[in-house]
């Protein structure tokens, strides 16, 4: 059956006018209501967490269970994760989940130009690309591809090498956190696996629930025939090799951080009665407010020079509201790598030039929004014939992790055995009718540059908190990134030509569909110049933005210190993927959750000291 129905239906002028009229009536009602409301309650919480994404969910749960008698306000711009027709909870529909308009911030990156190495006089243009970010309970963990990966020990040791006080971020400390959070369902794990994994945490991790497709087993055999070693655990002692991913799934369903940590946090509710006859009691609980868009930080204006955060201003149900922190409390931004820097800049913390250009008073000049790190990727499809893909499994099934060649050649045997790989190839079966515009079934090969050297940035476009910041990814700006990507794509092409893919599954044409669904580029025999064009034009994101509020000494372009406190401010921390000083060489959900788990210990320690 041909299910070629339109995904987007354009509203006509008449409908838009009707919408505007209804909005007007709603606004009028709210304004009238506000005019008559003489009183407002001053809401006070011990902690205010901005964002119920990966980090916010973990932090809320760990704090409410870690400190007695506190209350926490979580402000989330999106809604609960249940209004998605099952698309969030089913792993096989993740490709649809991140295209749910209601649950996505809808960011678009800026255009860019990359200089050719073959022809240095020439620049290749990169178009704007969509940059999805979760706007829902669980944040991106509710929309992601669920691959469970932590990166390599070396990267965390680099975080720790920034100074003696950064030791708390070395691999041994981070591993302790990863294990504490993890509940791994691997059947019959060996001793090594047991040493490196956790089995009692809240974050469920499992092997592919329904096994993998035969054609994907064929892919593993083809990779091995080229000398790529096998790997049973990408979070084991070595990361390189070919194998099947583990996923943040519980019995075949998505295990987001909302599902695991936030929902556990919401279970804790205690009522402490007040001491005086007319005093209210204190509710000890996590109060999560959905559709609450944070506008900025409220500062203590009486001590202007000290930059003391005392609360948050947010927009909810048509009105601007305020919430404040108790004397020992803190404001914690967990709004992700795009929005945490945006909120900081809107509140006067950021690069002077960009803030002044947008008429924002500079409270503290810091390189907020710089150091935008991500894992660039690029993909092609191998047509398989006969059609061996009948339904969808978990999506991204197979990983091939290797070191790429800096000159763009197919990696050598030594590269494939190198213990410091820099590429992750994600391979998945693909069925034509799953995505609009695709008319090919087969295998998608998506090489991901795990250790990029190009760095991007973001800046405010205006002082309007509902406006998108301008995002410059700078992918492939450094030519070694471009050529390592070409090297990995060539390796993919080589693997696809091996038996049993070439024989049993008849994999032949390798290329891509154009925007109209027609088979366009065939990458079988293309020049270096065409490879450059292919990668720059088709290159995309793996959805791992991070680093924009860098944890580093202030003299080394840091925005937060080793305890994640913003330099030159009080009562303010950032806890999410934006604090990564260097991006881990793997998917970023587990590392972000780990950062939040460790941050909770630091916050608890500081809170107790204030006694
Ligand atoms: C499509 C996709 C696929 C991915 N695949 C994988 C994968 O397979 N494996 C993996 O490990 N990682 C994957 N990732 C990346 C991973 O999920 C993220 O790195 C991680 O979830 C980031 O967590 P965070 O807490 O930093 O931010 P987020 O999870 O984005 O949380 C930020 C939260 O803050 C809220 N917020 C932001 N601004 C405001 C505001 N002004 N007011 C109120 N609330 C606000 C947001 O709505 C959001 O809920 C993927 C991501 C995407 C988008």
pLDDT digits (tens, 9 = 90+) for 551-594: 999 999 999 999 999 999 999 999 999 999 999 999 999 999 99
Using alpha carbons, select from 89, 176, 86, 90 the residue that is nearest to residue 138. 89
Query: The tokens of 598 are what?
Result: 């460790």
Confidence of residue 515 (pLDDT cuts 50, 70, 90): low
Task: Judge if the beta carbon of residue 576 lies within 6 A of ligand 1.
Answer: yes
Expressed in angstroms and rounded, the spacing between residue 575 Cα and the centre of ligand 1 is: 12
> What would the mean pLDDT of 366-382 be, rounded to a whole number?
94
Contacts of 542 (CB under 8 A, 6+ apart): 374, 375, 376, 377, 446, 448, 587
Task: Judge if the beta carbon of residue 343 lies within 6 A of ligand 1.
Answer: yes
Q: Are 381 and 529 in the same domain?
A: yes
Expressed in angstroms and rounded, the spacing between residue 40 Cα and the centre of ligand 1 is: 33
pLDDT of residue 389: 65
Task: Please report the DSSP string for 68-115 in residue order.
Answer: TT--EEEE-SSB-TT-STTTTT-GGGHHHHTT-GGGB--EEPPPEEEE
Task: Judge if the beta carbon of residue 592 lies within 6 A of ligand 1.
Answer: yes
Using alpha carbons, select from 59, 565, 78 the residue that is nearest to residue 286. 59
Residue that terminates a domain, selected from 542, 564, 582: 542
Contacts of 91 (CB under 8 A, 6+ apart): 146, 209, 247, 249, 252, 253, 254, 393, 394, 395
pLDDT digits (tens, 9 = 90+) for 172-206: 999 999 999 999 999 999 999 999 999 999 999 99
Q: Are 383 and 460 in the same domain?
A: yes
Task: Judge if the beta carbon of residue 335 lies within 6 A of ligand 1.
Answer: yes
| 50, 435, 589, best to mutate for ligand 1 pocket (most atoms within 8 Å of CB) | 589
DSSP 430: E
Task: Judge if the beta carbon of residue 577 lies within 6 A of ligand 1.
Answer: yes
Query: How would you classify residue 493: left for phi > 0, otherwise alpha for psi between -120 and 50, otherwise beta?
Result: alpha
Atom of ligand 1 nearest to the CA of 586: 11
Expressed in angstroms and rounded, the spacing between residue 139 Cα and the centre of ligand 1 is: 4
Task: Judge if the beta carbon of residue 400 lies within 6 A of ligand 1.
Answer: no
To the question of whether residue 294 is assigned a binding role by annotation, the answer is: yes
Atom of ligand 1 nearest to the CA of 293: 42
Domain that holds residue 72: 40-82+258-372+547-609
pLDDT of residue 390: 61
410 touches 572 (CB < 8 A): no
Expressed in angstroms and rounded, the spacing between residue 440 Cα and the centre of ligand 1 is: 30
Q: Are 367 and 404 in the same domain?
A: no
Share of the chain above pLDDT 90, in %: 75
Residue that terminates a domain, selected from 542, 566, 582: 542
Q: Are 410 and 504 in the same domain?
A: yes
Quickly count helices (H) and strands (E) in the chain: 15, 31
pLDDT of residue 526: 84
Q: Are 316 and 415 in the same domain?
A: no
Q: Are 429 and 538 in the same domain?
A: yes
496 touches 488 (CB < 8 A): no
Residue of minimum CA distance from atom 1 in ligand 1: 144
Domain assignment of residue 500, yes or no: yes
Domain assignment of residue 171, yes or no: no
Task: Judge if the beta carbon of residue 88 lies within 6 A of ligand 1.
Answer: no
Expressed in angstroms and rounded, the spacing between residue 21 Cα and the centre of ligand 1 is: 34
Q: Are 507 and 567 in the same domain?
A: no
Expressed in angstroms and rounded, the spacing between residue 92 Cα and the centre of ligand 1 is: 19
Expressed in angstroms and rounded, the spacing between residue 125 Cα and the centre of ligand 1 is: 28
Residue 2 confidence (pLDDT) above 60: no
pTM of the entire predicted model = 0.94
Strand 572-574 vs strand 319-333: parallel, antiparallel, or unpaired? parallel
| 48, 50, 53, 92, best to mutate for ligand 1 pocket (most atoms within 8 Å of CB) | 53
pLDDT digits (tens, 9 = 90+) for 396-425: 789 999 999 999 999 999 999 999 999 999
Residue 328, H or E segment: strand 319-333
Q: Are 536 and 551 in the same domain?
A: no
CA-CA distance, 92 to 309, in Å (whole number)? 43
Domain assignment of residue 101, yes or no: no
Q: Are 389 and 348 in the same domain?
A: no
Task: Judge if the beta carbon of residue 147 lies within 6 A of ligand 1.
Answer: yes
Q: Are 337 and 453 in the same domain?
A: no
Contacts of 481 (CB under 8 A, 6+ apart): 376, 449, 452, 453, 454, 475
CA-CA distance, 388 to 68, in Å (whole number)? 56
pLDDT of residue 3: 43
Query: The tokens of 313 are what?
Result: 């201003």
Atom of ligand 1 nearest to the CA of 577: 26
To the question of whether residue 136 is assigned a binding role by annotation, the answer is: yes
Task: Please report the DSSP string for 288-307 in residue order.
Answer: EETT-EEEEEEE-GGGGGG-
Atom of ligand 1 nearest to the CA of 133: 53
DSSP 209: T
138 touches 259 (CB < 8 A): yes
Domain assignment of residue 31, yes or no: no
Q: Are 359 and 328 in the same domain?
A: yes
ipTM higher than the 0.85 cut? yes
Residue of minimum CA distance from atom 8 in ligand 1: 145
Residue 1 confidence (pLDDT) above 50: no
Domain assignment of residue 302, yes or no: yes
Domain count, the chain: 2
Q: Between 322 and 93, name the one with better pLDDT.
A: 322
pLDDT of residue 116: 93
Expressed in angstroms and rounded, the spacing between residue 246 Cα and the centre of ligand 1 is: 19
Q: Are 273 and 318 in the same domain?
A: yes
Domain assignment of residue 64, yes or no: yes
Expressed in angstroms and rounded, the spacing between residue 276 Cα and the centre of ligand 1 is: 44
Residue of minimum CA distance from atom 35 in ligand 1: 51
Domain assignment of residue 152, yes or no: no
């Amino acid at each position: 059956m041909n299910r070629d129905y339109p995904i987007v239906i354009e509203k006509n002028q008449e409908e838009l006018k009707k919408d505007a009229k209804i909005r007007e009536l709603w606004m009028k009602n709210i304004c009238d209501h506000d005019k008559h409301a003489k009183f407002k309650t001053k809401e006070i919480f011990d902690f205010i967490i901005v964002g119920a994404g990966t980090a916010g969910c973990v932090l809320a749960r760990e704090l409410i269970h870690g400190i007695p008698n506190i209350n926490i306000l979580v402000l989330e711009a999106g809604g609960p994760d249940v209004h998605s027709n099952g698309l969030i909870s089913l792993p096989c529909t993740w490709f649809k989940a991140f295209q749910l308009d209601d649950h996505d911030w809808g960011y678009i990156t800026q255009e860019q130009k990359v200089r050719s190495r073959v022809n240095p006089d020439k620049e290749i243009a990169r178009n704007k690309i969509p940059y999805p970010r979760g706007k829902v309970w669980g944040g991106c963990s509710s929309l992601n591809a669920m691959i469970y990966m932590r990166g390599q020990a070396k990267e965390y040791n680099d975080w720790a090498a920034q100074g003696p006080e950064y030791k708390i971020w070395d691999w041994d400390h981070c591993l302790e956190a990863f294990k504490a959070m993890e509940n791994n369902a691997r059947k019959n794990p060996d001793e090594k696996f047991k040493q490196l994994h956790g089995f009692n945490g809240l974050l469920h991790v499992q092997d592919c629930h329904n096994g993998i497709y035969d054609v994907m087993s064929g892919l593993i055999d083809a990779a091995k025939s080229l000398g790529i070693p096998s790997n049973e655990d990408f979070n084991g002692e070595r990361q390189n090799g070919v194998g099947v991913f583990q996923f943040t799934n519980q019995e075949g369903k998505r295990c987001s951080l909302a599902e695991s940590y936030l929902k556990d946090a919401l279970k804790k509710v205690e009522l402490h009665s007040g001491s005086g006859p007319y005093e209210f009691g204190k509710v000890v609980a996590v109060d999560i407010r959905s559709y609450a868009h944070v506008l900025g930080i409220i500062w203590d204006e009486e001590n202007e020079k000290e930059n003391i955060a005392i609360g948050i201003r947010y927009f909810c149900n048509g009105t601007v509201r305020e919430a404040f922190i108790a004397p020992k409390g803190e404001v914690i931004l967990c709004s992700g790598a795009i929005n945490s820097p945006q909120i900081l800049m809107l509140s006067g913390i950021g690069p002077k030039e960009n803030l002044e250009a947008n008429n924002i008073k500079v409270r503290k000049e810091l390189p907020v929004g710089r150091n935008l790190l991500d894992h660039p990727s690029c993909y092609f499809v191998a047509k398989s014939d006969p059609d061996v893909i009948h339904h969808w499994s978990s999506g991204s099934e197979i990983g091939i992790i290797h070191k790429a060649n800096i000159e763009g050649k197919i990696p050598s045997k030594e590269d494939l055995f190198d213990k410091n790989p820099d590429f992750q190839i994600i391979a998945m079966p693909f069925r034509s009718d799953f995505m609009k515009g695709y008319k090919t079934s087969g295998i998608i090969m998506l090489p991901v540059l795990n250790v990029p050297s190009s760095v991007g940035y973001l800046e405010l476009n205006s002082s309007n908190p509902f406006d998108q910041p301008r995002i410059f990814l700078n992918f492939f700006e450094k030519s070694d990134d471009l050529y390592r990507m070409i090297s990995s794509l060539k390796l993919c092409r080589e693997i696809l030509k091996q038996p049993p893919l070439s024989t049993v599954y008849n994999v032949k044409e390798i290329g891509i569909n154009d925007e109209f669904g027609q088979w366009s580029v065939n990458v079988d025999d293309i020049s270096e110049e065409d490879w450059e064009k292919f990668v720059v034009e088709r290159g995309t994101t793996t959805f791992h933005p991070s680093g924009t509020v860098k944890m580093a000494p202030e003299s080394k372009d840091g925005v937060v210190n080793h305890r994640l406190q913003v330099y030159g401010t009080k009562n303010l921390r950032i806890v999410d993927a934006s604090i990564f000083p260097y991006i881990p060489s793997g998917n970023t959900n587990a590392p972000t959750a780990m950062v939040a788990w460790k941050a909770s210990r630091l916050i608890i320690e500081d809170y107790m000291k204030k006694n």
